[in-house]
Amino acid sequence: MAVFVLDRSGKPLMPCTEKRARLLLARGRARVHRIIPFVIRLTGRRASGCSLQPLRVKLDPGSRVTGIALVREADDGIAVLNLFELVHRGRQISEALTARRAFRRRRRGADLRYRAPRFLNRGKAKGWLAPSLMHRVHTMIAWVNRVRRWAPVAALSSELVRFDMQALANPEIAGIGYQQGTLAGYEVRNYLLEKWNRTCIYCDATDHRLQIDHLTARARNGSNRIGNLGLACGDCNQDKGALDVREYVRDPKRLARILATASRPLQDAAAVNATRCALASALRATGLPLELDSGGRTKFNRVTHNIPKTHALDAVCVGQVDALRDWQRPSLTIRATGRGSYQRTRLTRHGFPRGYLMRQKQVHGFQTGDHVCANVPHGKKAGVHTGRVAVRATGSFNIHTGTAVVQGIGHRFCALIQRGDGYAYCFEPKNRLRQGDAI
């Protein structure tokens, strides 16, 4: 990944390569400003007099994951500098609000003093969105502003996705003009790819071209509704034939998982639809030139340039893309974790207390969410563990390394890398083109 560079006064300069950043730090001409993402600050140079090339931030908004790409525009095409995948936590927010609402209703209806119900006495402003939806908009804008602080961004691009909910639920809806819109066929196929994680529902194959399969075959009066569609590789689709999914799948656990996923509501598509206008308005408020384009253009660019399907690379393909290079870069996964809560009581599913949390947030100078490096010299957990820490009052911490959780690490072995900012970070390997990715 390209390294962000700031001048002595904190103004952004052009990002540099990792090798050049290493030389600047070794020669004392720069110092570390931030670890993740890596940002350096020059010690003897100002931004005045430096030539800046046009940089653009591209967004591929999603319900659960948003792709962000920082690219440099030149005459010979677009050069990719940094790739990010921002994982939202809107679902956790929605579940927390639902639990809080249930606990409140229980308190009002239990054998306690009577409290009159509160409803219809609190209005909502025009354009109001649920907190779980506004979280997506606020998080994307926050990271756009962060990248603008670290790089001289001159323009923005975003995919203005609009899912046709009726066409997703029933592709046989009447109206020839309605059926043959610009996104006809694209919406259903791409929604199924996201819904089934680009995996054959019968054999879990990911390295084959996937076909749309009817769970209840058309020969048995199966419909084209989205709840009756799945993904299957060519071998499984041919072997299944006109059998019903309940007859073909012998494993009861797999069958239950298929039926549960097939009946899952269109929550993700609805979330993208609800936030599309709010995101576009927030991006326009930045004052930078904004390019809005369709999902069809994104897929056309990805297939034309033979780019694998990832959220970050989808962001690269947003808008006008004549030529593309340097896209095989590792992407930084940014997972929104929040900054804790004011709740100090752990509750059971019935709303009764089952444990109490400590009042202070810091233990021995560490706080949950900080990124630390623990060097354990001996014992069962000997080695170097780097990741996000979860503190305990006893001084025995847990460290989430991105792939596993190491428990029982003493605080005296931990060294602070970066204070927690409400996000967890991990790097993904370079993107490689695989068979079936360009579906």
286-309 pLDDT, tens digit per residue, is: 999 999 988 888 888 998 999 998
- Find the mean pLDDT for residues 311-316: 94
Contact yes or no for 344/356 (Cβ under 8 A): yes
Residue 174 has pLDDT above 80, yes or no: no
Element (H, E) at 146: helix 131-150
Half-sphere exposure (Cβ direction) of 341: Cα atoms closer than 13 Å: 11
- Find the mean pLDDT for residues 63-85: 93
Distance of CA 350 to the CA centre of its chain: 31
The answer to which of 111-120, 216-225, 398-407 has the lowest mean pLDDT is 111-120
Residue 68 has pLDDT above 50, yes or no: yes
- Find the mean pLDDT for residues 349-367: 86
Residue 93 has pLDDT above 80, yes or no: yes
Distance CA 83, CA 61 (A): 14
pLDDT for residue 18: 94
Distance of CA 235 to the CA centre of its chain: 32
Contact yes or no for 420/367 (Cβ under 8 A): yes
CB atoms near residue 204 (< 10 Å)? 10
CB atoms near residue 162 (< 10 Å)? 15
> Comparing 363 with 54, which gets the higher pLDDT?
363
> Comparing 177 with 344, which gets the higher pLDDT?
344
Of all residues in the chain, what percent carry a pLDDT higher than 90? 51
Task: Report residue 421's pLDDT band, with 50, 70 and 90 as the boundaries.
Answer: very high
234-253 pLDDT, tens digit per residue, is: 999 999 999 999 999 989 89
- Find the mean pLDDT for residues 338-358: 82
202-206, 375-379, 431-435: range with highest mean pLDDT: 375-379
> Comparing 127 with 351, which gets the higher pLDDT?
127
Task: Report residue 340's pLDDT band, with 50, 70 and 90 as the boundaries.
Answer: confident
3-23 pLDDT, tens digit per residue, is: 999 999 999 999 999 999 999
pLDDT for residue 12: 93
Of all residues in the chain, what percent carry a pLDDT higher than 70? 87
138-172 pLDDT, tens digit per residue, is: 999 999 999 999 999 999 999 886 655 444 455 55
pLDDT for residue 171: 53
pLDDT for residue 439: 30
Nearest to 163 by CA among 308, 69, 265: 265
pLDDT for residue 433: 41
> Comparing 342 with 332, which gets the higher pLDDT?
332
Task: Report residue 183's pLDDT band, with 50, 70 and 90 as the boundaries.
Answer: very low
Helices marked H in 241-332: 245-248, 252-262, 267-284, 295-304, 311-316
> Comparing 108 with 416, which gets the higher pLDDT?
416
pLDDT for residue 184: 52
The per-residue pLDDT of the chain, averaged, comes to: 85
